[in-house]
Structure 1
Amino acid sequence: MAPEPHASTHDRLAAPGPAPGIAPGPGPTPERGKLGVEFASASTLASDPSEVRPLTGLRLFAAAWVVVFHFQFTPGDWVDRLLGERSPVFAVVTTGALGVDLFYVLSGFVIAFTYLGKVGPRFSPGVSWRFLWARVCRIWPVYALVTTAFGAYLLVVKLRLGDPSPAYQNVQPDLSLGSWLHQMTMTQLWFHPWHDGVSWVGPAWSISAEWLAYVLFPLTALVFYRMRHWPRPVLGVLAVALMAPVAVKCLNTGSPYFAFSWAARILTGFTAGVLVYLIVREIPRTARVRSAASRLTWVTLGLILAGLYYGESLGAAPDGSSEQGGIVLLLFPVLVGALALADRGPARLLATGWAVHGGRISYSLYLVHVPLFELWWTVMERFPAFRANSALSVVLTPVVFLASFVLAHLLFRLVEEPARRTMRRVTSGRRAKSAPGVGAGPA
């Protein structure tokens, strides 16, 4: 999931005000008439560092897309009727793995929005370290907890229950101490062409992939920063073109997977997100712009749905793959850019309190849902009273689905946010002590 997938627009490095190092272009001068005055006073993403709430809310739906995709593998006739091939929503469900790519585009946009002005002007070991530490504080604590706990569970199933295949993965992960140390560095995927069996928590492969994008960002930011004045049409074409190889692969084969596809997906999706930020960052958010962006959001979502159902209409590929709808990857940069400027329709929904909170817990949700599902699937297999289609399984299966969201909320409140604040205070305190009179830096 997927995703951080997993920076949030409320996690900012820069203090309020224009992003340091990326000063807005020459400001618009007041013109005659109402439109000119509105243009002059409208804010831009470059001048307003506040959270872009529709994009935070979008993370909830990207994560939920992945969760439903995995939930469809739960045994049971009612699950099959609801989400299976005969379901009217199958075209959306079967392509849920694309939520990872949507996370990647979102992540590139938000990382650029939050950090490019600090990291991009010139290489600085100190700034680079602070950026990477901020990312570790955000993604590592809950990742380490869930990975270790689930690895312990897999060991119990394997050693005490005698199950040689404790994980629901095509390739079983190595549960050794050395593998655990590798998991803890989040680098377990970097030298493997395929992600099956690489991570103890199956979806965590995408976190390892995204960690690579973060490690490279202090260098790639030097290039991105110098592209900030490129013509918007050029940046737009490039952002969409970057998504094309995987999109066309999906259309032709029904699958986004190939050797090192994980690297292609993170590097292209993340870069496309950065380019979208460069496109929209200095567009004044006038009423006319917000209205046009809101309409574009509706059109883009309609095209995404149409593309998913078109892909499903092509039928499964010879090997059974059915993700031809992945052609809609081309539209993800457009969707993110439109939502960054929109304030009506889907943007208004995504900016509501419940959606924004859902976006904030989406990282924990992405991590914890598969361990919870796998625990339930094991119970269904081993205990006759809970077998598929039994009365207990019919009652408890939707409870398990909803429990993944509740557990994600608890992890966010009790682990993710407290650990992040504690880890950030450690380095902030050291900087403040070593540099009297200099602010300790933002949280």
Structure 2
Amino acid sequence: MKAQLLPEVKTTTLSAKPHYAILDGLRGVAALTVVAFHLCEAHATSHLDQVINHGYLAVDFFFLLSGFVIGYAYDDRWTRMTLKDFVKVRLIRLQPMVVLGMIIGGVFFYFQASSLWPTISQVPVWKMLLVMIIGFTLLPVPVSMDIRGWHEMHPLDGPAWSLFFEYIANLLYALGVRKFSNTALAVLVFLAGAALLHFTVTSPAGDVIGGWSLEPAQLRIGFTRLMFPFFAGLLLSRVANLGRVQNAFLWCSLLLLLVLAFPRVGGAEHVWLNGLYDSLSIILVFPLIVWLGASGQIFGKGAARLCTFLGDISYPIYITHYPLIYTYTAWVSARKHAVGQDFPLALLTFVASILLAYACLKFYDEPVRRWLKNKLLARA
């Protein structure tokens, strides 16, 4: 029996616009790769021997995908939408899971014991709670309040740093960049791309890793990683002439996984080659993947359900998995095991991350967002 052809997009009542299901699926693929990357990172001695070596580039893919989706969803709505409306919509979408991620991080920190960071016996409970409450707002804490000692702006839930920059990008878009002509936006993207390329090939580490601290050098990395992909995604949403690509989800997923899992390039002697790999992946390959995904079609109900599931859990798994990673890293550090020795526990942690994300989605995120929409977006 011939597979039923399903549209690659679905229409929502909120936006009355088609929704790219394949891009949702790709976001989920990237989020799962991040979990695997962090699990392998616990066993690495340096960037050179990290398994799933370029998994950190998933953050840059998220930024580009976010810019594309923001431009597609909101560029033509500003005649009937205020800045306040936009801020409320974005907060409703992102903020509930930020709060829950911080709570989960606080609970894990309270019960975790490791030589890698101070324990709750060394950190006053009031200070941990203060860091958690500040985390609810996504405002970064200074290094002096980093209770874990890893120089994180959100020491209870490390990946929240990228949400901090995501909020900045949303505000830059809403406050001015949305008014840019395509030419002006292209100039901004070109300059941001040049800055990204320069940074990666001159970086002492030969990569774009970083951005999670309020330290000046880390802030530079964060903004460098943000500006090109987010606004390139916005430009792509405006100018892309979408085609019709068969099996787009499969090919895009394979290409994305290839980029993220590719071994380190250049070794310790030529770190600039890896920096070049990073920048070219962000500047050339990621826009191609998004274009292919937006041009694709979904065949069969199974594929449609898979993309929906991956898209639904992508954000919850990204913002809640790291407390589990802290625990796994502490376990590995205490035992000095290789990846293969701890594979069963790593697999258990991976599955637990998915289950935790799904539970948070169904029992917290979706109900809370529905309630907030009814309360705050009734007029819209």
Contact 1:364–1:409 (8 Å) recurs in 2: yes
Larger radius of gyration: 1
2:3 equivalent in structure 1: none
Structure 1 unpaired stretches of 5+: 1-8, 17-48, 168-173, 432-440
Deviation at 1:238, TM superposition (A): 6.4
The one of 75, 82, 87 equivalent to 1:132 is 87
Residues 10, 108 of structure 1: alpha-carbon distance in 2 compared, 3 angstrom cutoff: farther
1:211 equivalent in structure 2: 167
Matching of residue 364 in structure 1 with residue 323 in structure 2: no
Letter in 1 for 2:369: R
Q: TM-score, normalised by structure 2?
A: 0.75
Cα distance between partner residues in 2 of 1:304 and 1:184: 32
1:413 equivalent in structure 2: 362
Matching of residue 399 in structure 1 with residue 354 in structure 2: no
Query: How does 1:114-153 map onto structure 2 within 5 Å?
Result: 114-119=73-78, 121=79, 127-153=82-108
2:140 equivalent in structure 1: 188
Moved more, 140-149 or 235-244: 235-244
Cα distance between partner residues in 2 of 1:304 and 1:156: 34
2:57 equivalent in structure 1: 98
Percent identical among aligned pairs is 24
Query: How does 1:16-415 map onto structure 2 within 5 Å?
Result: 16=16, 49-75=17-43, 90=51, 93-119=52-78, 121=79, 127-157=82-112, 165-166=117-118, 175-188=127-140, 196-199=151-154, 200-224=156-180, 227=181, 239=189, 242-253=192-203, 254-256=206-208, 257=210, 258-260=217-219, 261-280=221-240, 283=241, 289-291=243-245, 305=258, 312-316=264-268, 325-327=277-279, 328-331=281-284, 332-343=286-297, 352-379=304-331, 388=337, 393-415=342-364
Deviation at 1:67, TM superposition (A): 1.6
Cα distance between partner residues in 2 of 1:303 and 1:184: 31
Cα distance between partner residues in 2 of 1:326 and 1:162: 33
Residues 10, 134 of structure 1: alpha-carbon distance in 2 compared, 3 angstrom cutoff: farther
* Alignment root-mean-square deviation, CA: 4.4
Contact 2:265–2:274 (8 Å) recurs in 1: no
Structure 2 unpaired stretches of 5+: 1-8, 120-125, 211-216
Between 1 and 2, higher relative CO (CA 8 Å, sep ≥ 6) is seen in: 2
1:24 equivalent in structure 2: none
Residues 152-194 of structure 1, C-alpha deviations (whole Å, 9 max, x = no match): 432444xxx5857149xxxxxx9444433321211217999x9
Contact 1:55–1:350 (8 Å) recurs in 2: no
Q: TM-score, normalised by structure 1?
A: 0.65
Letter in 1 for 2:232: A
Deviation at 1:108, TM superposition (A): 0.7
Contact 1:246–1:265 (8 Å) recurs in 2: yes
Deviation at 1:250, TM superposition (A): 2.7
Letter in 2 for 1:397: A
Cα distance between partner residues in 1 of 2:66 and 2:366: 18
Deviation at 1:324, TM superposition (A): 5.0
Contact 2:143–2:153 (8 Å) recurs in 1: no
Cα distance between partner residues in 2 of 1:355 and 1:262: 29
Residues 276-335 of structure 1, C-alpha deviations (whole Å, 9 max, x = no match): 00012xx4x6xxx3149969x9699769948985x8341136889966531311122232
